[in-house]
Homo-oligomer: A and B are copies of this chain.
Amino acid sequence: MALIVQKYGGSSVADAEKIKNVARRVTRAKDEGKQVVVVVSAMGDTTDNLIKLAYQVNEQPGDRELDVLLSTGELVSSTLLALALESLGCKAVSLTGAQAGIHTDSSYSRARILRIDPKRVINELEKGNIVIVAGFQGVTQEMDITTLGRGGSDTTAVALAASLNAEICQIYTDVEGVYTADPRLVSEARKLKEIGYEEMLELASCGARVMHNRAVELGGLYNVPILVVSSFSDSPGTVIRKEVSMEVRNKVRGIAYDTNVSKVTIVGVPDHPGIAAAIFEPLARANINIDNIFQNASINNITDLTFTLTRGDLVKAMSIVEPVVKSVGGKQCVADSTLAKVSIVGTGIQNAPGYAARMFRTLYEQGINIQLITTSEIRITCIISEDRVKDAVQALHQAFELEKSQP
């Protein structure tokens, strides 16, 4: 019998009425003759409220206890969904992460799944049950409860789909799918029927968050097709899957942007070994995530060094870098927090030249200055002024003819 895994996020199960809606949706798949495993997140703001409580009793709550505390949110939503299904006359059973055999390492608050032992899940499916699994959580060898960190429930769903050989993992969320660009910026933006795992990862890393990268990576690794679809409408959504039709389709798949970008430029740094380490080691120790690093070719052993980071870290980063720059004899540090990234993404880019040139020309024709450029095999990103993002995304969408449906 065909088996599918569905995952519903916190906004889809935010109250009793929404849970009943989800139950009705789940029964449809069951009515189509499929075995159904459902993974749920905690209801609405539950997790935030639990975290608030923890901070009320301890300003630095320990990870082990926090994980048990947070795991209760998914237990509540999973049992309520099982009860809602039963009231519709469906046999259903909820399982905790531990009962579902989700074994993790013991890195509390960001545990990694080591293996899934789906014996109990299979057993319950064979009894005719819809199986509801509490997302976001697992259990260590010592039977301690862990949580999987950000994107945890998506990861639970894709990992279960992989271990159960599900035909598809359906992620029900509050967006309708993956678009060629943000529909709020580009009215012609088109929802994609499908997209490759790597393309999805690149789009997400440039700001198009529909699900967490970790789950997409896992899907790619085990080749699990992932459907991203709205839990509030019946529109068809987007399937993330292995690239199958690379040759025949438009080589740029989407335009992404991210306005949470700031930049630090260090002017006049002596270009000798150890300088980069001297600057970036203290930043790493302060847990500041550096996005990209750019270094100009040096002239007379003097170079300029630029790095980008999220805006929230800028002040802290400057306070760390400025004394270092002085101590190594650099001239000055300049910060800019008015920037944005605009990217074109598509597996086709790696095999066809001319995409970068077309991107740069399009921005030039709009009078948009490109401050920095970074690329991956399937992505080209330009850092520009934030106030030109909308113009850039619209122009690029048009230039690469993304409003046109694929052949």
Q: Interface of A with B (CB < 8 Å)?
A: 16, 19-20, 23, 50, 53-54, 56-62, 64-66, 68-69, 71-72, 75-76, 78-84, 86-87, 93-94, 96, 98-99, 120, 143-145
Contacts and interface: CB of A to CB of B under 8 A. Distances in A.
A61 B83 contact: yes
Contacts of A57: 16, 19-20, 23, 80-81, 83-84, 87
A-B pairs with lowest CB-CB distance, top 7: A16-B56, A58-B87, A72-B72, A58-B83, A57-B84, A69-B79, A65-B79
21 contacts: A53-B76, A53-B80, A54-B83, A57-B80, A57-B81, A58-B86, A61-B83, A61-B86, A64-B93, A65-B86, A65-B93, A65-B94, A68-B79, A68-B96, A69-B75, A69-B80, A72-B75, A72-B76, A75-B75, A98-B143, A120-B143
Contacts of A98: 143
A145 B99 CA distance: 10
A64 B96 CA distance: 13
B59 A87 contact: yes
Nearest to A17: B56
Given A87-B58, A99-B143, A65 B53 contact: no
B145 A96 contact: yes
A171 B143 CA distance: 28
Total copies of this chain within the assembly: 2
Q: Interface residues of A: mostly helix, strand, loop or mixed?
A: helix
A120 B82 CA distance: 31
A78 to B, nearest CB: 8
B87 A65 contact: no
Nearest to A19: B57
Given A96-B68, A143-B98, A62 B86 contact: yes
Contacts of A82: 62, 65
Nearest to A62: B86
A153 to B, nearest CB: 17
Given A56-B16, A143-B98, A83 B68 contact: no
Contacts of A86: 58, 61-62, 65
Interface centre among A20, A23, A61 (most CB of B within 10 A): A61
Contact of A75 (B60, B68, B84): B68
A54 B75 contact: no
A55 B72 CA distance: 19
Contact of A94 (B56, B68, B79): B68
Contacts of A58: 83-84, 86-87
A29 to B, nearest CB: 19
A65 B50 contact: no
A83 B96 contact: no
Contacts of A19: 57
A386 B276 CA distance: 88
A75 B69 CA distance: 7
Contacts of A76: 50, 53, 69, 72
A60 B86 CA distance: 9
A64 to B, nearest CB: 7
A20 B86 CA distance: 40
A391 B58 CA distance: 51
Nearest to A87: B58
Interface centre among A58, A79, A143 (most CB of B within 10 A): A79
Nearest to A74: B72
A54 B85 CA distance: 12
